[in-house]
Structure 1
Amino acid sequence: MTFVVTEQCIRCKFTDCVEVCPVDCFHEGPNFLVIDPEVCIDCALCVPECPVEAIFDESDLPPQFVEYTALNAELAQQWPVIDSAQTPLADAEEWAEKSDKRKFLIIDSAAAAEQA
């Protein structure tokens, strides 16, 4: 099994989880983080560090987030590794409690530049 970053991270991108990861399995996109399932060692250190509770063990994923398993694996192959904490997105606090954020996920940097 692996751990999966889900919808709650979109438009927040808190990186407390990255700081504790012993194997650098996190990858950073324009407004979301993902976990590379090939690198994750299932240590679970990241789970309690996430202030928006966006990280789940794959076997405990709520049904509405099942698609995020494949999404994490796919985007981890496209996005660069992030290995240290960074400042969250400017409006992260506003987005932290919102739901139904999948439509706001930005996959590529060019799209992010257009929305900025």
Structure 2
Amino acid sequence: MTYVIGSPCIDVKDRACVDECPVDCIYEGKRTLYIQPDECIDCGACEPVCPVEAIYYEADLPDEEQPYLADNERFFADILEGRDAPVGSPGGASKIPVIGMDTRFVKTHPAA
């Protein structure tokens, strides 16, 4: 199980969760943030600091947020168009620059 960032984060990206995460597993796309599922230790530190309540424990995802689980995984596996390799599990968001790209699912989400 892991935590997932859902639709309330799109076009907000407050980053309080990034500062709170003890394992540096929250990565920044262009319009939203993504939690690397293999790096997340399920500590829950990110969830209560999110000002827009966009972070959910995987098992607690509301029905309307379910697509974000697969989309979050897709971000790290295979969606970064124009990159030579998927992001995968780089071992900490601070080790790589801001990715500045999003999944097709997030790209097509209506602007807030």
- Matched AA of 2:63: P
Shift of residue 57 of structure 1?
Answer: 0.2
**Are 1:5 and 2:5 an aligned pair?**
yes
Root mean square deviation of aligned Cα: 2.2
Deviation at 1:76, TM superposition (A): 3.1
**Partners in 2 of 1:74 and 1:82 — Cα distance?**
16
**1:27–1:76 contact (8 Å) kept in structure 2:** no
RCO greater where, 1 or 2, for CA within 8 Å and sep 6 or more? 1
* Residue 103 of structure 2 is aligned to residue 103 of structure 1: no
Runs of 4+ in 1 over 4 A off after TM superposition: 77-81
Q: Map residues 31-110 of structure 1 onto 2, 5 A cutoff.
A: 31-77=31-77, 78=80, 82-83=93-94, 103-104=109-110
8 Å CA contact 1:35–1:76 kept in 2: the answer is no
Question: 1:104 Cα deviation (Å)?
Answer: 3.5
Unmatched runs of 5 consecutive residues or more in structure 1: 84-101, 106-116
- Sequence identity (%): 44
For these two proteins, the number of residue pairs brought into alignment is: 88
Secondary structure of 2:109's aligned partner: helix
**Which of the pair is proportionally richer in helix?**
1
With normalisation by structure 1, the TM-score equals 0.68
Gap regions ≥5 residues in structure 2: 81-86, 95-107
